[in-house]
Amino acid sequence: MVVSPVDAALLLLRVELVGLASWRRCRGRAPAVRDLLPGLLAGACLLLALGAALSGACQAVIVSALGAALLAHSGDLGSRRLR
């Protein structure tokens, strides 16, 4: 079975999220997961758009993934501004 680089990057995002959540639970010094989630979600949506574009998916799928990335990134910036 061949794993695409996009799938590998998405897997690493999941591993990073689980690792940081575990580190915070054990040590209490890592950033809160709710602070990291919008940025990780934006990155995941961008990777999904890349994977869709590379696989030849229709433009609606690519635009939807990019729109979701924009919303997640805007939420991330908005939450940082409030802090």
pLDDT in tens, 3-57: 899 999 999 999 999 998 888 888 887 788 888 899 999 999 999 999 999 999 9
Start-end of H helices in 1-83: 5-27, 33-55, 59-82
- Between residues 82 and 71, the one the model is more confident about: 71
- Could you say which DSSP state residue 56 is in? T
Report pLDDT for 27.
85
Q: Domain limits at 76?
A: 5-82
pTM of the model: 0.86
Residue type at 53? A
Across the range 61-80, mean pLDDT stands at 94
How many other CB atoms sit within 10 Å of the CB of residue 17? 16
Residue 48, token pair as written in the block: 């999904």
Across the range 62-78, mean pLDDT stands at 95
Question: Contact at 8 Å (CB) between 79 and 31?
Answer: no
CA gap 68, 70 in Å, rounded: 5
Domain total of the chain = 1
